[in-house]
Structure 1
């Protein structure tokens, strides 16, 4: 099966193990009790509002019981020239910390983990945020 429309190789050049140790570090940190930081409406929301600019409207936000900060946005104008996946990553990068993971989990649903791992600059204690961005 092809990996994209003009894929002729049907396979890649290597496995992904070169970066697996850093991904494991993030996963290990995420599993620590209390790793998800409180008050995302204070720590994240102002940055997301600014990043929305004229392209996005922030239409809702709520903190779920599992620590996921759910933010709902819609496009402010027409979709011409918009690459939703790329533009969502750009929007989420407004809250990016040294560790930053984004995955499209479904149509219009993007899940993001961002945080500081032990030893990351600028030397804060390891902490992070879970963000689910929903595009309406």
Structure 2
């Protein structure tokens, strides 16, 4: 990847980002754009990472993350959203649990949400499992 402020991302990277965002849009179109969910982002760049967060509007939140990432020459590679949770408190609990599991294997130096050199697929399992534990009857 390029250094900060060294021009726009290459077209190939923008296509990868668009595909990742489209996969999320397709899920949200079927299940609802609004609702408390966890999201998992695989971010490529000088220091690759996996980010796990929560939002009541994941489509808009992911768009803001992509804009911020691109400013620093980082790019979204893959994205995942979990099933909806009933409320903000449940989402926060699920996020905390997913972060605990991820932090057992990957460092989170800059924030509790980002895991340096994290495994995207492990992140999706952590997020989905944390949500399932809180939504099972």
> Normalization by structure 2: what TM-score?
0.30
> Normalization by structure 1: what TM-score?
0.30
Higher helix share: 2
Q: Using CA pairs under 8 Å that are at least 6 residues apart, name the structure with larger relative contact order, 1 or 2.
A: 2
Higher strand share: 1
